[in-house]
Structure 1
Amino acid sequence: MSEFLSVIFGFPTAVFTVLLIVVLFYWVLATFGLVDLGESGDAGDVGDVGHGHLHADGHTDDLGTLAGYLVAFGLNGVPISVVASLLVLVAWTISALSGIWFVRWVPTELLRWVAGAGVLVAASGLSLVITARLVRPLRGVFRTRYATTHASLVGQECVIWTSEVTPTVGRAEVSQHGAPLNIRIWADTPNPLKRGDKALIVEYDAAAKRYRVEALDA
């Protein structure tokens, strides 16, 4: 047991161990609906719809770049949170096994650091390849789930999260089977909508991946 702990908390596996702890903490919070599950990693879909209460809006260019990398590595089609979790888990497993079977047997400290650096790079690269294989069978599941979600939200009420709703800016939360969805919205201006108000979802724009809303008293 002590040898195993020395490997997972030693270089290079410690790098992935820290990331794995973050991932596990994230999923604990996600279990209680306190963080965003994340949208599928298709180009243009990143950050569109997700479960949870916390949702950080990234710059559009940044999201487009991220989506491009996901597609390039074959990691698109499933939520980013799932992709990141698999990447970390696979890299940690490869690094830990390499540490047990190889790195700890290297004779000198300097050579162990050199070998560890090689394992760090190799584990990161292999995790991309293996994760790309793992997400393939999951794509159909998540595509079906989000398509159903988009269609079912029209006609439901939502709670505004942003200080205002304009043709270009807006976010709202929709209650779905006990797990809130955080969605992108827009509305014609002028309108009275502000944070905390309830609105009606009247239309889904598939091209822009957002919903048009109206004030309930409109």
Structure 2
Amino acid sequence: MREFLSVIFGFPTFLYSLALVVVLVYWIAAVIGLVDFGESSIDLDIAEHADVSVDDLGTIAGYVVAFGLSGVPFSIVVTLLVVIGWTLSTLAGIWVLAWVPTLPLQIVAGLVVLGACFALSIVIAARIVRPLRGAFVTEYARHNSDLIGQTCTITTGSVDEKQGYAQVAQRGAGLLIQVWAPSPNTLERGSQALIVEYDGAARRYLVQPMDAVA
């Protein structure tokens, strides 16, 4: 027991232990109704981040899509990453770091373990997320149809047939959506556009400049 406690409160596992406490507090708050579980969704067609800049939103969405973590509530993604990372780090602390002799080597080995656990947690979480996406299709489909006809603000430098992101103001928060538009067009960061269609297969929205609407 003493060995286990020294591992979970030692480097690098204590970082995951702190994150695990935050996750546990969140889920307790969700169970008793202090947090709305539905408000933490990040479909990566639609990502809600009221407290970060639009530039950061585009970066976050790009990474989450690239890692295959889209399609489920963001709270579930974070929980999986933390729990998996904590488990791997704890096991590494017991089976690997305990045999490292000196403090400098322990720090170096701890950094390696931290990076390896984070990378492996992404891979494992992506595998777990894949079969869970179907449970959230109905909710996301409702949001997708609701956005058609609304205006959005482009958050990327340009929008073409291959890439683009935009922010939609909804319920006082910023919703990030993946968008596209035929080239050439006048859309650039900060431009206003109209959402005219949703492509369910590509999971993105067709937009057009507001000056074209007029």
Q: Please say whether Structure 1 and Structure 2 have the same fold, judged by a TM-score greater than 0.5.
A: yes
Deviation at 1:150, TM superposition (A): 7.2
The residue that corresponds to 1:72 in the other structure is 66
2:124 is the counterpart of 1:130: yes
Measure, in 2, the Cα distance between the counterparts of 1:35 and 1:120: 30
Measure, in 2, the Cα distance between the counterparts of 1:16 and 1:146: 30
Measure, in 2, the Cα distance between the counterparts of 1:59 and 1:123: 28
Distance 1:132 1:170, change over 3 A: closer
Within the candidate set 55, 77, 87, 2:81 is matched to 87
2:138 is the counterpart of 1:144: yes
Work out the percentage of aligned pairs sharing the same amino acid: 52
TM-score with structure 1 setting the length: 0.63
Deviation at 1:36, TM superposition (A): 4.1
Measure, in 2, the Cα distance between the counterparts of 1:120 and 1:18: 14
Measure, in 2, the Cα distance between the counterparts of 1:169 and 1:136: 29
Measure, in 2, the Cα distance between the counterparts of 1:170 and 1:78: 19
The residue that corresponds to 1:107 in the other structure is 101
Measure, in 2, the Cα distance between the counterparts of 1:21 and 1:84: 12
The residue that corresponds to 1:9 in the other structure is 9
Q: Which runs of 5+ in 2 are unaligned?
A: 147-167, 176-195, 199-203, 206-214
Once the two structures are superposed, residues 37-79 of structure 1 have per-residue CA deviations (whole angstroms, 9 ceiling, x without a partner) of 3123323x001xxxxxxx8454333323211111011111111
User: What letter corresponds to residue 147 of structure 1 in structure 2?
Assistant: A
| Contact 1:41/1:67 (8 A) holds in 2 | no
User: What letter corresponds to residue 171 of structure 2 in structure 1?
Assistant: R
Distance 1:62 1:206, change over 3 A: farther
Measure, in 2, the Cα distance between the counterparts of 1:22 and 1:206: 39
Aligned length: 158
TM-score with structure 2 setting the length: 0.64
Measure, in 1, the Cα distance between the counterparts of 2:12 and 2:130: 29
Measure, in 2, the Cα distance between the counterparts of 1:206 and 1:60: 22
Within the candidate set 42, 45, 48, 2:44 is matched to 42
Q: Which runs of 5+ in 1 are unaligned?
A: 48-54, 153-167, 173-181, 185-204, 210-218
Distance 1:149 1:124, change over 3 A: same
Distance 1:36 1:68, change over 3 A: farther
Distance 1:117 1:57, change over 3 A: closer
